[in-house]
Structure 1
C-alpha cells in the first residue's frame, strides 16, 4: 500500500504531461481522479495497519550511492491521510479560480503531494532534509505565479528564504551527527547515545529549522503574508500540511534522538509557546483581513502544539498530533470559506461584510460549524486536542496551565466575534445579491465539517493508533 501511495501521484503527473494544455477540463479531472486514488490507498493502508507501534509497510529504495528506507507508523499514518485528503480538495476549490497555466498548477500540486508523502515516511535524515526542502520549490511557484494580489512575488520570496535559511542549520546538524556516528539511518541513530554537549548543538540546528516551519514567534513573519498572497490551494497546503512539518520533525527528532537536550531546552520552548498562544491570539483579535485572522490564529494553535510536545508525556504527544490533525482540517476549511467570499465580492476586509447568513444560508451554516470547532466546542476534534493539551499544561505547572487557558478563551472570543461581524446583523450595503454556495463548494466544505466532528465524536480511532507508536518509541 505504501508503494501505491506514491505511485498514484506519479501516474497522475505522467498522465497530465501527455494531455494538451488546451483541454483544461480533462486535466482537472485527471488530477482529481489520481488524487482520489491516492486517498483510497491511504485508507487501505490504515485498514491494514497493525496497531503494534513499529514501523510498517517497510520499503527500500535503491539508488546509485546507497539506499533509502521508507516506513509508516501510527504517527505518520494520519499525516499521510491528511495530505491525501487535502490534495483532491485543493483541485476542487481551484476548479474555476485558476485561470492560466492550469497544467503547470496541477503538476505542482501533485509534486507537493509526492514530496510530502516522502517526508512523512522516509527513515533517513539526509532524505528527510532533501524532501523537506524540496517542497519549497513547487510551493514557491504556487505563491509567486498564481497568487491573488500584487505582492505575491514578495510573499513567495519571504516564504522561500525564511524557511531555506533556517534549514541550513538542520543540514549542518545532520552533517555533524553523521561525522560522529557514521550513518544517517533514523532507526540506527535512535539506538545510539550521545554526549550532552553534542545533543545541545544538534538540537539547536534542528530547532532553528523546525521553529521557522511551524512557525514560532519570532520566526512567524513570513506566514501571514504568504497566506494572504497565496491562492486558496496554497493557503490550504500551507495551513493544512506544511505547518505540520515542524511539529512532525520535533516528534521524530527531539525526544527519540536528543532526550537530554530536549529536556534542557524545554522551559525555553514552553515560554515561546505561551508567547505564541497569547500574542498570536491578541494579534488575531485586531486583524481586519479575513485571511490574516485565520493565519494568525494558526500561530496561536501551533503554539499549543509545541507546548504539548515539550511536556514530554504520552498525553502531550497524543494531544500534539491530534491538534495538528484538527488544525489541518478546520484551518483549511476556514481558508476555503474565506476564499469563497473573496471570489464573490473581491474583498477580504471584514467591515464590508454583514448579514451573510440571510443571503447565503448554506455558507452561514457551514461556517458556524467551523467557527465553533475553531473555538474548541465539545464534540469537535479541536476540543479533544485542546482538552489533552490543557490537562498536560496543568500537570506541568499551574502557571503554564492558566496562561495556556487564557489563549483558549481568546480563541473562542475572536472566532465568535468574526462570525458575528460577517454573518449576523442587517445585510451590508456594500454587498449586492450574493450567490450562495454551489454544489462543488458546498460538498468541499461539508466534507471537512463532517470529518472535524467525526474525529471529535470517535477520537479513539485515532488516539489508539497514535498511542501505540508513542509507547513503542518510549516517548
Structure 2
C-alpha cells in the first residue's frame, strides 16, 4: 500500500511528461484525479492503522536495494509519520484543484507537481537513511524547478538561493548519515536497526559532531534562525501552489527528521545539545514574529510567520532532551504538540499562501498598502482569510490552539524558562490583526474596487484545508489518538 501511495504519482508524472499530445484540460484533471486517489488511499491507510508499538512500523515493506552497504528499500509508518502523510496528500489535492484554470505550461506543471508529491510522501514513509536522503534531495530539485519555472519577480535568483542553501544542508545531512553508518556494528543505514543499536552512545564527541551535521542539514530545510534567509524570497517569488507546498510540506521534512532520525538514534547527543536546540527555537519564535510584524508585503509576512511557527516545534523537541525529575508525561505532551503543529501549520500556511495567490491573480500585488475595505467586494475571501489568520495565531477551536497549548504546557513543565517564547503568540496575533485591518476594513480603496470574490475552484481548494483545521480544533482526539502513543515511545527512546 505504501509503495502504491509513493509511486503512483511518480508513475503518472512520467506518463504525463512523455505524452506531448496531452491537452491542457486533460493534464489538469489528471493531476486532480491522481491527488484525489492519493487522499482516498491514505484514508484507507488511516482507517486500517493500528499502533505498531515502540520502535515498530505499520504497513511495513522491505526489499534489498544496496545490500553491500546495508541499505534496503524499507518503508513504514507510525503515529509520527502517518499524520504528515495524510497532510501531504490533502495539500497536494488542494493545489491541484486551485490550479485547474492555470494556463501556463499545464502539462509540465502537472508532471512536476506529481513528481514532487511522490518524493514528498517518500520522505515521510522512509525507514532507511539512504531512501530518506534520496527522496529528501529530490524534493529540493522539484521545488527548484517549481519556483524557477512558474514564479514571478526575481524567481530565478530566489530559486537558485533556495537550491544552494538547501542542497548544502543536504550534504551536511549526508555526512551525518555516513557517520551513523560507520559507527554502527554491523554497518547499516536501516533506521529501526540504528534506533535499537544507538551507535556513538559511548562516544560523546563523535556523537555530538554527527548530530551537529544532521541538525544543520535539517535546520536549513526547517528553517530555523540563522538558516532561514532563503525562505522569504523563495516564498515571495514562488507561485501560490509552490508556496503552499513549500510551507505546508517541505518545511516539515526538517522537523520530521528530528523526531524520526536525530532524537531516537542519538539520544545521548540530543540530551547534551538540548539547551542549544531550545535557545534556537526561542530565537526563531521571537525573531520570526517580530520581523513578520514589520512586513508590508503579505506573502513575506506569512513567510516569516513560518519561521515563528517552526520555532515552536524546535523549542518543544529541544525540551524533550531536558531530562530532569519525573517529566516524562510533560515531554510526551511536548512531542505531541510538535507533531500537531507540523500538521496544523501545514494546513494553515497552505491556505494562507493560496489566498495570497488570489490577491496577485486579481490585482498583481501582495502589498497590503495597495488594498483597503476588501471585505466589501470579496466577503468570502475576507472570511476565509480571517479564519486562517485566527487559526495561525492560535485561537481556541482551531488546530493552532491545540498545537501551541500542548507545546507550551509540555515545555514549560520541563523548563519554565521556555515561557520566554510566549510573547511570540501575542506578536503573531498583532501582526495578523493588523493585516486584517489594513486589507479588509475601512473604505474600499486602491486595488479593492472591482476585486472579484473567490471562485468555486478557489473555495474548494482553500475551504477544506481550513475545515480540517477546525475539525482538529474541535475534535483533537481524531489526531491525538494516533500521535500520542508514538510520542510516548519517542520520549522513552530519548531518555535511554
1:365 to 383, 398, 406: 383
Q: TM-score, normalised by structure 2?
A: 0.92
Q: How does 1:73-112 map to 2 (within 5 A)?
A: 73-97=78-102, 99-112=103-116
Q: How does 1:216-255 map to 2 (within 5 A)?
A: 216-255=224-263
Distance in 1 between the 2:381 and 2:174 partners?
A: 45
Question: RMSD in angstroms over aligned alpha carbons?
Answer: 1.5
Please name the residue that 1:56 is paired with.
Answer: 58
Please name the residue that 2:218 is paired with.
Answer: 210
Q: How does 1:314-329 map to 2 (within 5 A)?
A: 314-329=332-347
Partner SS state of residue 395, structure 2: coil
Range moving further from structure 2, 453-462 or 86-95: 86-95
CA contact (8 A) 2:95 2:461 kept: no
Please name the residue that 2:325 is paired with.
Answer: none
Is 1:354 matched up with 2:355?
A: no
How many Å apart are 1:62 and its aligned residue? Answer: 3.8
Please name the residue that 1:45 is paired with.
Answer: 45
CA contact (8 A) 1:274 1:303 kept: yes
Is 1:116 matched up with 2:87?
A: no
CA contact (8 A) 2:277 2:318 kept: yes
1:381 to 399, 411, 414: 399
How many Å apart are 1:51 and its aligned residue? Answer: 2.5
2:169 to 149, 166, 170: 166
Q: How does 1:117-196 map to 2 (within 5 A)?
A: 117-149=121-153, 151-181=154-184, 182-193=187-198, 194-195=201-202, 196=204
How many Å apart are 1:63 and its aligned residue? Answer: 3.6
Residue deviations 1:205-243, cap 9 Å, x none? 101101111111011000000000111111011100000
CA contact (8 A) 2:319 2:415 kept: no
How many Å apart are 1:21 and its aligned residue? Answer: 4.6
Q: Structure 1: any 5+ residue segments left out of the alignment?
A: none
Distance in 2 between the 1:429 and 1:169 partners?
A: 47
Distance in 1 between the 2:178 and 2:287 partners?
A: 35
Please name the residue that 2:74 is paired with.
Answer: 69
Partner SS state of residue 101, structure 2: coil
Distance in 2 between the 1:167 and 1:267 partners?
A: 24
How many Å apart are 1:57 and its aligned residue? Answer: 0.6
Is 1:421 matched up with 2:423?
A: no
Is 1:34 matched up with 2:34?
A: yes
Range moving further from structure 2, 379-388 or 88-97: 88-97
Distance in 1 between the 2:176 and 2:20 partners?
A: 45
Residue deviations 1:155-188, cap 9 Å, x none? 0111001011122112112112212211111111
CA contact (8 A) 1:11 1:34 kept: no
Is 1:263 matched up with 2:271?
A: yes
Partner SS state of residue 428, structure 1: coil
Change (3 A) 1:445 1:272: same
Range moving further from structure 2, 57-66 or 175-184: 57-66
Is 1:466 matched up with 2:483?
A: yes
Partner SS state of residue 59, structure 1: strand
Distance in 2 between the 1:426 and 1:251 partners?
A: 48
Is 1:303 matched up with 2:311?
A: yes
Please name the residue that 1:391 is paired with.
Answer: 409
CA contact (8 A) 1:52 1:468 kept: no
Pairs aligned (count)? 472
Change (3 A) 1:64 1:396: closer
Partner SS state of residue 63, structure 2: strand
Range moving further from structure 2, 54-63 or 328-337: 54-63
Residue deviations 1:115-168, cap 9 Å, x none? 11111111111221121111111111110111022x101101110010111221
How many Å apart are 1:64 and its aligned residue? Answer: 6.1
Range moving further from structure 2, 321-330 or 7-16: 7-16
How many Å apart are 1:199 and its aligned residue? Answer: 1.3
Change (3 A) 1:14 1:165: closer
Change (3 A) 1:70 1:430: closer
CA contact (8 A) 1:21 1:102 kept: no
CA contact (8 A) 2:58 2:78 kept: yes
Please name the residue that 1:6 is paired with.
Answer: 6
Distance in 2 between the 1:202 and 1:148 partners?
A: 39
Distance in 2 between the 1:131 and 1:444 partners?
A: 26
